[in-house]
Amino acid sequence: MAVLGNNKGLCGNNTGLKPCPTNRRKGSNATLVLIILYIVCLIISLLIIVGIIFIYRMREAAVDEPTAAPIETYFATWNYEGENVHEEILKATQKFDSKYCIGVGGYGCVYKAQLPTGEVVAIKKFHKNDGILDGEEAFTTEINGSLADNLRDEVKALELGWRKRVNIVKGLANATCYMHYECCPAIIHRDILSKNVLLDDECEAHISDFGSATTLDPDSSN
């Protein structure tokens, strides 16, 4: 062992040899990595727990929040009664008394009325005089009959080729889309039939007869 002891760099656990240095740095690095991983996992777990608690409380708040009561209106589709509305309009305007008139046009007068629901509406009453009849006659001469009339007439039905019929369907689709999505409030016709579709000289479709039409409450889910 005395002979071996003078060799430079020789180490070991035997008597007379220098002890070999231990790799402490490698062990310390592994410990540091484990600590960092532990801290990262702990932070992620805390974030997940906080997120779950936040979502749970948001759902509880949404359930506990009172929903706004739907505004009662005479013109909603689910409770529309034409006769009742007409009676209330007569009461509100005192049978269309002139003191409620807020405007006069070539085809009628506009009246202001407050309904029992609190709604303030403008009511247009059309004139029954020669002027309106002249307007109706001019409109009638411009229109080339209803779609039903054209389909029943053999000659007109032959003239109404497939290209014209497709164009009529497209016109009806555009008109319905406009009433439902671009008007405010939305208009529900409720009576689109071939007899209520008028054609002009170029066979463009025009929806008519809005006697059964009503408006849709924007807050309605129906």
- Sorted by where each starts, the structural domains of the chain and their CATH numbers stand as 82-127 (3.30.200.20), 144-222 (1.10.510.10)
For 16-58, write each residue's pLDDT tens digit: 667 776 655 555 677 888 888 889 999 999 999 999 999 988 8
Top pLDDT among 176 and 118 is at 176
Going by pLDDT thresholds of 50, 70 and 90, the confidence category of residue 5 is low
Q: What's the rounded mean pLDDT across residues 152-163? A: 91
Query: What element of type H or E holds 152?
Result: helix 147-152
What pLDDT is attached to residue 171? 92
Structure tokens at 72: 């009662």
Catalytic residue among 191, 200, 217, 219: 191
Top pLDDT among 125 and 180 is at 180
Token look-up 């040899």 returns 17
What pLDDT is attached to residue 84? 73
Token look-up 């070999």 returns 20
Token look-up 């739907």 returns 70
Residue 210 in this model has a pLDDT that exceeds 90 = no
In this structure, the strands spanning 214-216 and 197-200 are unpaired
Top pLDDT among 139 and 83 is at 83
What pLDDT is attached to residue 9? 64
3-state secondary structure of 141: helix
- Within the chain, how many helices (H) and strands (E) appear? 7, 8
Cα–Cα distance, 46 to 57 (Å, whole number): 17
Top pLDDT among 11 and 163 is at 163
To the question of whether residue 18 is assigned a binding role by annotation, the answer is: no
149 is catalytic: no
Distance (Å) of CA 134 to CA 107, 124, 130, 160, 200 = 10, 19, 6, 29, 18
CA angle 82, 88, 92 (to 5 degrees): 145
Q: Report residue 52: phi and psi, to 5°.
A: -65, -45
Structure tokens at 215: 């408006």
